[in-house]
Copies of this chain bind each other. A is one copy, B any other.
Amino acid sequence: MKRILILGSTGSIGINTLEVIKKFPDKFNIESLTVNSNIDLLEKQIYDFNPAKVVVKNVSKAKELKERVGNKCEVLSGEEGLIEITKDGNYEVLISALVGFAGLFPTIEAVKLGKRIALANKETLVVAGEIITDLVQKHNAEIIPVDSEHSAIFQCLVGEKVSEIRKLILTASGGPFFKLDEKEFKGVTITQALNHPNWDMGDKVTIDSATMMNKGLEVIEAHWLFNLPRKKIDVVVHPQSIIHSMVEFIDASIKAQLSTPDMKLPIQYALSYPERLESEFVETNFPQLEKLTFYEPDLTKFKCLKLAYDVLELGGTNPCILNAANEIAVDGFLKEKIKFNQIPDVISESLENIRNHTTLELGSIFECDESTRKFAQSFINKEY
């Protein structure tokens, strides 16, 4: 019986994780759940899964929940609550499913305890990949990726040698604007950008998918997860999202992992690995698939992907700047402060103006993240 702590239980990954756990009551149980502020759904989850502790980041919402649930479970609050709950170590698997930079610090606590991290928060590795991978090694922790692409690669590498990899081939759906002319980017509405063809995800990730920044962040994540240089990580657009990613080996043999898109599959694998568990996820009926197609990503059109490639080569806190500026830019787009085509501009501008730190420490990352956010926000307020 594995005890599970979910950071971000009311988000898309959190909800899917709970659905998986519900199916295997003899294998997994919920030790703790954390949310930002959605206490209505959390209250329901408390009654369904009986966690010992929960954390509500929003302090006043935490108080409100405490009044509602009484002694049913312990209610903590704030960033301190998040750190406390990850530090207590009363769990075997941490589901790191907070969105954005917020996932970094609590994830580090779990790494320090040598836990298994089912990692859905890509920013953790994007901004602090070097620090995290060092800590994972030092504390004998285990990172199992939850992103469908990285899970695919992880699965393809089971029983294989990392030294025999020629390259990784990350597949990308291309998002809703894969075929849209770049000239139309400035007129893209929020509704259009949130309408992902294959995956049902949170708003931030869906917009990142539309700009292909999501794939850029995944390339950086893959670099750290699998210890491979940029030139050994290819991206290929595969609009059907059936092949989740591939590994080409030195003998030209390629292994791919495929399935009908369903986040529950990689989540379950991250929980059950090295076992696989019988499940009723939709089986893939090949004769019923229309076709599988592949295209080169257009780096002129999808500038965010190009920017991500660049910062990976540059290193230092550049990926942190990219990530922070992107979070602010996406937020600005969702609040209708900037246009869709201005997202990469905010990021480029930030990369040009924020000082890069070549030596990575958590302190410099934190500082860099803060100053980038401030800069990007004021740039948006001033320019647009």
> Footprint of B on A, CB under 8 Å?
155-156, 158-161, 164, 169, 236-238, 243, 246, 248-260, 262, 265, 268-269, 272, 275-284, 286-287, 289-296
Contacts and interface: CB of A to CB of B under 8 A. Distances in A.
B281 A289 contact: no
A304 B230 CA distance: 49
How many monomers of this chain does the complex have?
2
A256 B259 CA distance: 11
A283 to B, nearest CB: 6
Contact of A294 (B246, B249, B256, B287): B287
A296 B287 contact: yes
A166 to B, nearest CB: 8
A249 B276 contact: yes
A251 B236 contact: no
A17 to B, nearest CB: 15
A219 to B, nearest CB: 16
Contacts of A159: 158-160
Given A251-B277, A287-B295, 16 more contacts: A158-B160, A161-B275, A164-B276, A236-B287, A237-B287, A246-B258, A250-B276, A251-B269, A251-B278, A252-B259, A252-B260, A252-B265, A252-B280, A253-B276, A290-B293, A291-B293
Contacts of A156: 255
A357 B279 CA distance: 40
A281 B269 contact: no
Contacts of A155: 253, 255
Contacts of A252: 259-260, 262, 265, 279-284
A151 B295 CA distance: 28
Contacts of A251: 265, 268-269, 272, 276-279, 281
A256 B247 CA distance: 11
Nearest to A290: B293
A176 to B, nearest CB: 20
Nearest to A260: B252
B253 A286 contact: no
Contacts of A253: 155, 257-259, 265, 269, 276
Nearest to A157: B159
B278 A286 contact: no
Given A255-B155, A257-B255, A294-B287, A250 B278 contact: yes
Contacts of A291: 291-293
A78 B251 CA distance: 37
Contacts of A294: 286-287, 289
A206 to B, nearest CB: 24
14 contacts: A161-B275, A164-B275, A164-B276, A250-B278, A251-B269, A252-B279, A252-B283, A252-B284, A254-B258, A287-B294, A289-B293, A289-B294, A291-B292, A292-B293
